[in-house]
Amino acid sequence: MRIQIFSDIHNDLKQLERVAAVSADIYIAAGDLVTWARGLSDCAKVLKPLGEKLWVLPGNHESADQIAKFCEDYGFRNFHEQVFEVDGWHFAGLGYSNRTPFSTPGEFSEEQLAERLGKFAGLSPMVLVCHAPPAETGLDGVKPGEHFGSPKVREFIEAEQPKYFFCGHIHEAAGNETKIGKTTGRNVGKQGYLLEL
């Protein structure tokens, strides 16, 4: 099973075409297809052939309602706060970021993140995909000493130890991979990452 995971396209339709052209069984858009919720219909023109093979999370630049309508209108699957089981693997998805200074449309408090992640507790084996990275890791650093990830996302990963964790949001950390206990974590960024299970 091949899963193409990408994030933070931010209206770069050429890059969207590249990640969508990779041969995969499942495609996961882990948030921020666009900036300030503008241009989803343009992204849909590129992604429409993927149909139900495309699972979509809202990033902090889209609201849950906008992504729900986007999926409904174009035949994609809304992955936000959902668990999909495929071939014995539990895929758990949570969009939105932790709080930012910019008041973007898709932000949760740490308490809201913890509450929603709690619904995924006990799933094994799990592939967890969040827009928000875990705090103080290689996945959320902007520069040395500056980290903007979520403490509650990190707590959940440390407690539950999903087999794999994927995120986006912090562009400067795109492509970085790290271990959190037994969990392999990666910030997929706009280049994307192909997971083979």
Q: pLDDT digits over 8-51, tens only?
A: 999 999 999 999 999 999 999 999 999 999 999 999 999 999 99
First to last CA, the chain: 5
CB 16 within 8 A of CB 8: no
pLDDT tens across 39-87, in order?
A: 999 999 999 999 999 999 999 999 999 999 999 999 999 999 999 999 9
Number of structural domains, the chain?
A: 1
Which tokens sit at 24? 């995969």
- Look up the domain containing 188 and give its range: 2-196
Read off φ and ψ for residue 77, nearest 5 degrees. Answer: -105, 130
Residue 137 banded pLDDT, cuts 50, 70, 90: very high
> What distance in Å separates the CA atoms of residue 65 and residue 158, rounded to the nearest whole number?
30
- 142: region left, alpha or beta (phi > 0 left; psi from -120 to 50 alpha): alpha
Is the N-terminal amide bond of 162 cis, ω within 30° of 0?
A: no
- Neighbour order of strands in the sheet with 183-187: 82-86, 89-94, 126-130, 164-167, 183-187, 177-180
Q: The domain that contains 149 carries what CATH number?
A: 3.60.21.10
